[in-house]
Chains A and B, each alone.
Chain A
Amino acid sequence: MSHRLPSGGRLIDRATTLGFTFNGRRLKGYGGDTLASALLGNDRMLVGRSFKYHRPRGIVASGPEEPNALVGLGQGARFEPNQRATTTDLFADLVAQSQNHWPSLDFDIGALNGLMSRFLSAGFYYKTFIHPRAFWKHLFEPTIRHSAGLGRPTSEPDADRYEHLYAFADVLVIGGGIAGLQAARTAAESGARVMIWEQSAHWGGRAPVDDPDVEGMPPDDWISATLHWLRAQPNVTLRSRTMGAGVYDHGYALGYERVTDHLPGLDAPRHRLWRVRAGRIITATGAIERPLSFAGNDVPGVMLAGAVRDYVVNFGVAPGRRTVIVTNNDDAYRTAITLHSAGLEVAAVIDARARATGDLPQRARSLGIRVMTGRAIARVRGGGRVTGVDICQHTGTGAAGALIACDAVAMSGGWSPVVHLWSHCGGKLIWDAGAALFRPDPARAPTGADGAAFVAAAGAANGVMRGAALLADARAAAAGGDAPAPEPEAITPVWIMPAAAGPGLRAKMWLDFQNDVKVSDVQQAAREGYVSVEHAKRYTTLGMATDQGKLGNINGLAVLSDAQGAPIPDVGTTTFRPPYTPISMGAIAGEARGDVFQPLRRTPMHDWHAAHGADWEPAGQWRRPYCYLRPGEARNDAVAREILAVRGGVGLIDASTLGKIIVKGPDAGRFLDMLYTNMMSNLAPGKCRYGLMCSENGFLIDDGVVARIDEDTWLCHTTTGGADRIHAHMEDWLQCEWFDWRVYTANVTEQFAQIAVAGPKARDLLQALGGLDVSSGALPFMSWAGGRLAGIPLRAYRISFSGELSYELATPAGHGLALWRALVDAGQDLGVIAYGTEAMHVMRAEKGFIMIGDETDGTVIPQDLGLGWAISRKKADYIGKRAQERAHMTDPDRWKLVGLQTLDGSVLPEGAYAVTDARNANGQVVTEGRVTSTCHSPTFDRGIAMGLVRHGPDRMGEVLRFNRVDGTTVEARIVDPCLYDPKGGRQDV
């Protein structure tokens, strides 16, 4: 059983006892514990269940590579699933629960999946998706849904806050082990601005556990001295609890700092995302130990050898009382020596190699530890916990020999450099067959803007595992130059154990503990033709999910390479993608949530609307009143009231969000003739004209009224959402195509408040304000004039989007609210009301006016919309003209705009298709049109709609059938799109 040792533990403070809760049970740990060490100290080895078979899972590792000990942490709005117990610092009253089990961790019904393992082998998702279909829907899917998933997120809003920090560094060192510290020191000595990140709370990495000394000093002393020096340097920034999450183009890096995870309640951001631009990046990210693949290597109590000695040395916790060590290398003997020194029993070291003659094996033997070479573990005994191992010859098929009783197994398959960050931005790897590891290839490093390498790997991350060679490698990474070649590690690759194991054993050798992928699954994938390692990953789920193969990838691809008879480097690795380990969504969002997710744009009259019942709708970053609700009024009723008030009297709408772009200069007219489909150069000063803008593809992208201000100045109105886009469109053509034309543009959207005054009494209202002559003689339809009303400076445009007599009044933004108030006050006797966007939409639909984004969707040309009248035939060219001559654009079968009226007066569904009785070659219903906008018209008291219909304008009066969501259809007659005042007499009075 795992237990706390009576003494020892360099990271814990036995004077500080911390109470915490795991699965509802109160337990105790010490200050400095991780949740994993505290659980082991309480003999809680079983911490979860595997993803697919729900097999019992124990703690395997001591760091971020841990695949099993994922827990739900916290409660309520602070609950977070999938937190690694091995990287969670213990704090008082921590609450954690295990995952992926039902009804309890100790008794889990999903473990029955293990009995179904024959059906859940490689590719089971794909196979069960396919056939038999009914099985998927009624059997597999409900079962899998119930048992799938590692943890569930809370549905409450995150109670914590997060922030982004931006920084620059000449040299960014990722990893604070002795290699990283040395690299930072060397870089800082050169005068460079240095930043160094360490993912854990502790500097120095593995050296205090693994190395007897560093440069002749006890490792902890060397680390303290180096940290002391670094902290004293003004050009060095050190951040612990900060993981290098990703390395990106041109020296960009993301760091993930866990600020308050271990200090709950502190008034500080929980996580911080560092966004750093670095001149050079040194990855000193260490190495991760590989498991060995033997039958039953997933039984709780089987752990990585390095992790076993970490728990003993760092936390004074022993995973077992009697441990068997199994290895293919010398390093694992460190664990044997550590356990022996702590007074724990080492039952045997099982070494797959024929001979083990290095210093470490000899030291182990001299301590009296039994070393068995040429041997392997045939199988692990025990279900929920290791009870023993059967020993066999490694070269054989697994015929069991001696049984060794034990309650823990420490395994080591060798160490793999952490090459993730090196690889994120294109760094390539080489396979070092002697050391049995992939290491960064310095000849193919990630390159920056100058074409030179900007990432260098140092220390264990570079395959240089320890000692003077490691420090020399770190200095070389920081200062440039070559490091002396390190001593080769004493290792013989072992990819399955025993070497000639048959199918029965291979089906119990786990490669990926989290996703339940076994040696037999990868071999099956190879047999089924999965040649690419990327395909094999998806097919078997090896290295998927939160784990991303930190433990299992190299073993998995070695098995794949063996099955294919191809060398390991030819099979290659899967792609390493950021982040290195999962980071919180909160850290990614940073401050951008809630009210500050996006800037909110307010018109000068925004607060007035809010005070008068505005029911807001978003329009880009603006908020516009959809309608103004009176007490007790429903939205539909408000919209109907507003429309009838405008049609019968006068109403105001805040049109300030309309885009307003000034185009000015001697060549402005010529430019606008290219930009709009119709002529703008011949528009007289003082006049207005409706215009259409197309992309070079010919598709309609925006519309609006253009007013000519003076000889060389035009004011272009765009749609509310279009101002920035259309301004950018203008600048693109001006800067890149017609850069010799003398034209200047300015987006003045926010400089003006704009109010549309619409309705038969609009003129009466303006005359009540007094000032500018707004009579039809002085200011006819489609003209404009400048002046003052009620003393407020403005321009009045005689344009209409409602079909009524209408003026749009534009005044400098600072006068907007005053003008609005003056209109409201003066209009009391006339019954003036404020109306919202929905009333505007319905009134324009009654008039048959198109709306960008409703009638257009990026595939519609003006000719489809009956807007040929707004396309100049005289002009030699305009943007989109050539495209509109293409065969498909002139096809008479294109769907064209019509009005639609249901026979029963109902409102057609949004986006409904006109269906026919015909079917196409695929058996699909042939359609002949679709609804583009639809609403209830209070004016006509019925549903009205517009749509695009094949040969539509030639089919007036025909009845079409439109589908509805419930599967039925509704009949609608093709009519003219303009229902209201077709002759236009009301707007031109």
Chain B
Amino acid sequence: MLILTCPCCGIKADETELAPGGEAHIKRHGPGSSDAEFEAYLFTRANPRGVHFERWRHAYGCGKWFLAARATDTLEVFGTYPATSTAVPDAILSRIRARRPDWIKPDRIKPA
């Protein structure tokens, strides 16, 4: 039962207040995209044992979506940040690197 801090309202939210939304930082491909692009957008998902970026909604709180960086193996949370972010905040990337020196940043994760 995770705790994630909602960056919108600041509440340390219990997992029962939250709704999961899958992987974060996935770029939408609409009409005109190739089959490969669309397949990647709709179906291809990372499933790392380790650092992961996820979408969550504070569904039974303020209702806002937000993003979270956390480790799927140790349940460590590196930080949460607004859903409007196209890049991962520097402070969170620094914390990940400090805690996981071997972590290799996926290409789709953009630094701020």
Contacts and interface: CB of A to CB of B under 8 A. Distances in A.
Contacts, number: 69
Given A249-B2, A450-B76, A732 B63 contact: no
A249 B28 contact: no
Interface in B42-100: 42, 55, 57, 59, 63-65, 71, 74-77, 83-84, 99
Nearest to A875: B31
A647 interface: no
Contacts of A447: 74-76
Contacts of B21: 732, 736
B65 A735 contact: yes
B31 A250 contact: no
A344 interface: no
B107 interface: no
Nearest to B84: A739
Interface stretch (A50-58, A363-371, A587-595, A880-888): A880-888
Given A736-B83, A886-B38, A277 B14 contact: yes
A249 B31 contact: no
A926 to B, nearest CB: 29
B31 A736 contact: no
A694 to B, nearest CB: 13
Contacts of B76: 447-451
A882 B38 contact: yes
Contacts of B42: 696-697, 883
Contact of A882 (B33, B65, B71): B33
Interface in B4-56: 14-15, 19, 21, 28-33, 35, 38, 42, 55
B93 to A, nearest CB: 16
Given A250-B2, A731-B65, A882-B31, A736 B55 contact: yes
B112 interface: no
B35 to A, nearest CB: 7
B38 A739 contact: no
B22 to A, nearest CB: 11
B65 A732 contact: yes
A735 B21 CA distance: 12
B1 interface: yes
Contacts of A881: 30-31
Contacts of B75: 249-250, 426, 447-449
B3 interface: yes
Nearest to B43: A697
Nearest to B74: A447
A221 interface: no
A252 B1 contact: yes
A887 to B, nearest CB: 8
B37 to A, nearest CB: 9
A449 B3 contact: yes
A450 B77 CA distance: 6
A252 B57 CA distance: 21
Interface string A653-686: 0000000000000000000000000000000000
Residue among A450, A696, A735 having the largest count of chain B Cβ atoms under 10 Å: A735
Interface string A413-457: 000000000000010000000000000000000011111000000
Nearest to B100: A451
Contacts of A732: 21, 57, 65
A728 B59 contact: yes
A886 B99 contact: no
Contact of B74 (A248, A451, A886): A451
Residue among A277, A449, A697, A885 having the largest count of chain B Cβ atoms under 10 Å: A449
A579 to B, nearest CB: 15
A449 B78 CA distance: 8
A15 interface: no
Interface string A478-503: 00000000000000000000000000
B59 A248 contact: no
Nearest to B65: A735
Interface string A689-726: 00000001100000000000000000000000000000
A248 B19 CA distance: 18
A735 B83 contact: yes
A129 B38 CA distance: 45
Nearest to B35: A886
A877 B28 CA distance: 12
A829 interface: no
A876 interface: yes
Interface string A851-895: 000000000000000000000000011000111011000000000
A737 interface: yes
A467 B61 CA distance: 50
Nearest to A451: B76
B38 A249 contact: no
Interface string A223-256: 0000000000000000000000000111010000
A277 B2 CA distance: 10
B1 A250 contact: yes
Nearest to B8: A735
A732 B75 CA distance: 25
Contacts of A739: 83-84
A449 B79 CA distance: 10
Residue among B19, B75, B76, B84 having the largest count of chain A Cβ atoms under 10 Å: B75
Nearest to B37: A882
A164 to B, nearest CB: 12
Contacts of B35: 886
A735 B64 CA distance: 7
A638 B73 CA distance: 59
Given A449-B3, A732-B65, A736-B65, A882 B57 contact: no
A449 B77 contact: yes
A25 to B, nearest CB: 47
Nearest to A883: B42
A883 B3 CA distance: 35
B101 to A, nearest CB: 13
A580 to B, nearest CB: 17
Contacts of A250: 1-3, 75
A726 to B, nearest CB: 14
A296 to B, nearest CB: 46
Contacts of A252: 1
Contacts of B71: 451
Contact of A731 (B15, B28, B38, B63): B63
8 contacts: A249-B2, A252-B1, A449-B2, A449-B76, A451-B76, A736-B55, A876-B31, A886-B38
Given A250-B75, A731-B57, A886-B35, 8 more contacts: A426-B74, A447-B76, A448-B75, A450-B76, A732-B57, A735-B83, A736-B84, A876-B31
CB-CB nearest 8 A-B residue pairs:
A451-B76, A252-B1, A449-B77, A735-B65, A447-B74, A877-B30, A739-B84, A250-B3
Interface of B: 1-3, 14-15, 19, 21, 28-33, 35, 38, 42, 55, 57, 59, 63-65, 71, 74-77, 83-84, 99
